[in-house]
Amino acid sequence: MSTDEPETKRFTLAEAQRLLPRVRTVTEAAVAEAEELSTVVQRLPASDPARAEAVDALEAVVAAWTQRVRGMGLEVKGLWLVDFDNGDGYYCWQHPESAVLHFHGYDEGFAGRMKIV
């Protein structure tokens, strides 16, 4: 049985740290594009058709980012929030953090993040 979703990969902390620059590059580009579109959306009245087009473009940016990150074998858990499955839980990164600095179990989620010592 085939799916469109890539299989989630398991990462050591070292592997997660090595992949992070690529994740950050993809994320920073998407964030910049999303911020520009968000500014356009905020300036336009709800009745302006250009506003709806900008909203659609903004949603497309987030969808493309999600697809690229998932294509790396990672899990997207929220806007600009990425988890690296390690077999016991997740190494967790959120833009604009400089490194993979947190871990949480499968059931704890973002609220249960603990700093990696």
> Domain residues of the chain, as ranges?
13-115
Residue 59 has a CB neighbour count (10 Å cut-off) of: 12
Give the pair of three-digit tokens for residue 53: 């087009």
pLDDT, tens digit (0-9, with 9 covering 90-100), for 88-102: 999 999 999 999 999
Cβ of 96: how many Cβ atoms within 10 Å? 10
Q: What's residue 117's pLDDT? A: 77
Whether the Cβ atoms of residue 11 and residue 82 lie closer than 8 Å to each other? no
Q: Is 33 helix (H, G, I), strand (E, B) or coil?
A: helix
Sign of dihedral through CA atoms 17, 21, 22, 28?
positive
Query: What pLDDT, on a 0 to 100 scale, did the predictor assign at position 8?
Result: 67
pLDDT number for residue 1 = 45
Whether residue 80 contacts residue 93, with contact meaning beta carbons closer than 8 Å, is answered with no
Residues of the chain with pLDDT under 70: 1-8
* Distance (Å, whole) CA 41 – CA 65: 19
